[in-house]
Amino acid sequence: MHSLENYVLGRWIGGTGEGQLLHDAVTGEAFAHTSTKGLDFGEVLNYARTTGNPALRKMTFPERGLMLKALALHLSAQKEKFYALSYRSGATRADSWIDIEGGIGNLFSYASLRRKFPDQTYALDGEPHSLGKGGTFMAQHLLVPKEGTAIHINAFNFPVWGMLEKIAVNLLAGVPAVVKPATLTSYLTEAVVREIDKAGILPKGALQLICGSAGDLLDHVDSQDVITFTGSAETGLKLKAHPTVLRENVPFTMEADSLNSIVLGADVDPSMPEFDVFIKEVRKEMTVKAGQKCTAIRRIFVPESRLQEVQHALTKALAQTLIGNPAHEKVRMGSLAGLGQREEVRSQVKKLLACSQLIYGNLDGVLEVVDADALKGAFISPLLLLSEHPFSADAVHAVEAFGPVSTLMPYKDMGQALDLVKKGKGSLVCSLVTASPAPARDFVLGAAPHHGRILVLNAACAKESTGHGSPLPLLVHGGPGRAGGGEEMGGVRGVRHYMQRVAIQGDPSMLTAITGVYQPGGDQVLSPVHPFRKYFEELEVGDTVITHKRTVTESDIVQFANVSWDHFYAHTDHTSLEGTTFSKPVAHGYFILSAAAGLFVDPGKGPVLLNYGLEECRFIKPVYAGSTIGVKLTCKEKVRQEPRDEADIPKGIVKWYVDVYDETGESVAIASILTMVKCKN
């Protein structure tokens, strides 16, 4: 029998004693055991804080992102090992694809997010704020990695994705992780961590794994740690109320199982493609992972005039689901994760039957399974219930059977549908299937305060839709109320969760030095060498060129109008200016920017390879014929680019602060432009 081990303190350690037996969900065979007895959890957390955290904090965002990319590539090459082991959890290959490749996909996605961050160990958050009239006192928010560790307590249903989708975020932020998967399926998490360890890609202490009881782990958390929990609301609330968590004010993100719903719009009838989309979506969400998904559809709301048609179509679709050994190529639904889980589902369904009736499936067992023993394996039939009076059926809005179980319910109008959806008291996701934009808008705005995500499905997006139950790395995964109130993933938003936001106040030059980004009003370093003649490495933030000046003429304005075809009246018509902010025809804003470029560009061939774009631009003051403009061009920020291949030219992106001013010294335009600059080496 295989003994699972814990990956802590930089090595693999088995617990003492017999520990907990783990069973094959398909055959019922006990094949492994695990234990955490004898582990010092205080030492585990201290190792993460003192070894893993400093190593990650020293890395820049690009370095952390490339680390995630290398890890994703390595795990992709090993994925068939994980698929073979995943069958033991009752998951089909399609189910396992969500878990395994979905998890690896999160690593790839967050690796690509490195481009959204600076080439630094920290990041700026938002725009600078001027706090004084004289421009000598300002503030800028800064994000720095916390000095603790992320503690991830995960559910049994996604042993790979549950770990990878979370560590992708904290590792990019520069914070290590201690992962505690649900013991029931921890054997698959352990297999993935063994491959991560073999790869040697992560710094020591960046990832630790606990297979088994968490013991007194939470007794040792402190204010620099972050806890995430995925599982039942009941367990989550107990952990959230832990005395040390409360005393240390440890950030606690909970993603709890919720009573997610789907609504069929009143405009949809069986002749429309949206009707088929609706039926397929419900069937998929009931049978994928045997319904063991925190995002699975538990409540199905349809117009009362369509109740019989939907019931008939759903029962017909569910009858086509072949149940059995998940390794069999024809099987479309495997087993639950274990016999204990099956008993839990049956117990919850009995509560639901107090206010509903079973219209498809058999609560006692599965009549026929493919290539398996229905008694030894944790098999269960899809169970479709009907509750004809949903406003008085409290259980269907409060009790969740975590398996292939959904309840069908009627509504009279969209107002009722909204009221019924809200009775779930907070959900991770809701779907609306409709072809009509107006009711879709009303529904979304009404349901939004109660959901983390809303999918609006119609024929136009159905083919490309990732589906009701698919959280995406760049979107927030979480929800209010019963769903836990937390937010996971969410792209850049998720990374910020593991960083401390601090407001830095001071003079512009001091904040430029601290942040590594030029702040308006800061010291500008004049050099006899034009900045466009400097290679990427030679440029320093603050390097500035003050150009010669140019007087704008009426001819300039007329010629730019003719060249650009922009004949807006404010530029060309003297007779139409009454009642406007202009006293006479004004120069085009884009002419001012173009003229500024003519002033600050060094024309000779040099390290600047091309104009990369414009991030922001503001036209502050009108420029009339006769005004004289000049430019201060300052190096604002530098971001080194990764080579696409061996033949690629080493280069970086330089952001420039462009201040165009007139003869009075007042700014008329402010912009941030980007150039691609060649590296010297």
Q: Can you name the residues that pair with 357 across neighbouring β-strands? A: 386
Active-site residue, from 5, 101, 165, 255: 255
Overall average pLDDT of the 23-31 stretch:
93
Whether the predicted pLDDT of 511 surpasses 80: yes
Instruction: Note the pLDDT tens digit of each residue in 439-493.
Output: 999 999 999 999 999 999 999 999 999 999 988 999 989 999 999 888 888 889 9
Overall average pLDDT of the 408-429 stretch:
96
What pLDDT score does 284 carry? 96
Instruction: Note the pLDDT tens digit of each residue in 359-379.
Output: 999 998 888 899 999 989 999
Tell me which amino acid residue 269 is: D
Banded model confidence at residue 279, pLDDT cuts 50, 70, 90? very high
- The whole-angstrom separation of Cα 681 and Cα 360 is 69
For the question of residue 309 being annotated catalytic, the response is no
Q: Would the CA dihedral through 375, 378, 382, 384 be positive or negative? A: positive
Q: What is the pTM of this model?
A: 0.92
Overall average pLDDT of the 393-408 stretch:
96
What pLDDT score does 485 carry? 87
Q: What are phi and psi of 396, to 5 degrees?
A: -65, -15
Q: Would the CA dihedral through 493, 498, 502, 507 be positive or negative? A: negative
Instruction: Note the pLDDT tens digit of each residue in 594-649.
Output: 999 999 999 889 999 999 999 899 999 999 999 999 999 999 999 998 888 888 89
What pLDDT score does 16 carry? 81
Whether the predicted pLDDT of 142 surpasses 90: yes
Tell me which amino acid residue 356 is: S
What pLDDT score does 644 carry? 86
- Measured in whole angstroms, the distance separating CA 256 from the mean position of its chain's CA atoms is 17
Q: What share of the chain is helix, strand, coil (3-state, %, to 5)?
A: 35, 25, 40
DSSP conformation class of 52: I
Whether the predicted pLDDT of 18 surpasses 80: no
Domain parsing of the chain, residue ranges: 2-123+143-257, 260-483, 524-678
Give the class (CATH, top level) of 260-483: alpha beta
Banded model confidence at residue 234, pLDDT cuts 50, 70, 90? confident
Overall average pLDDT of the 11-24 stretch:
88
- The whole-angstrom separation of Cα 117 and Cα 113 is 7
Q: Considering the chain, what is the average pLDDT of its residues?
A: 94
- The whole-angstrom separation of Cα 186 and Cα 434 is 40
- The whole-angstrom separation of Cα 185 and Cα 163 is 12
The overall longest dimension of the chain from CA atoms, in Å, is 93
Instruction: Note the pLDDT tens digit of each residue in 557-566.
Output: 999 999 999 9
Tokens matching residue 182? 């649900």
What pLDDT score does 367 carry? 80
Active-site residue, from 211, 294, 430, 635: 294
Tokens matching residue 149? 């560790």
What pLDDT score does 664 carry? 95
Under CATH, what is the fold of the domain 524-678? Answer: Thiol Ester Dehydrase; Chain A (3.10.129)
For the question of residue 617 being annotated catalytic, the response is no
What pLDDT score does 193 carry? 98
Overall average pLDDT of the 39-62 stretch:
97
Let me know if domain 2-123+143-257 sits in CATH 3.40.605.10: yes
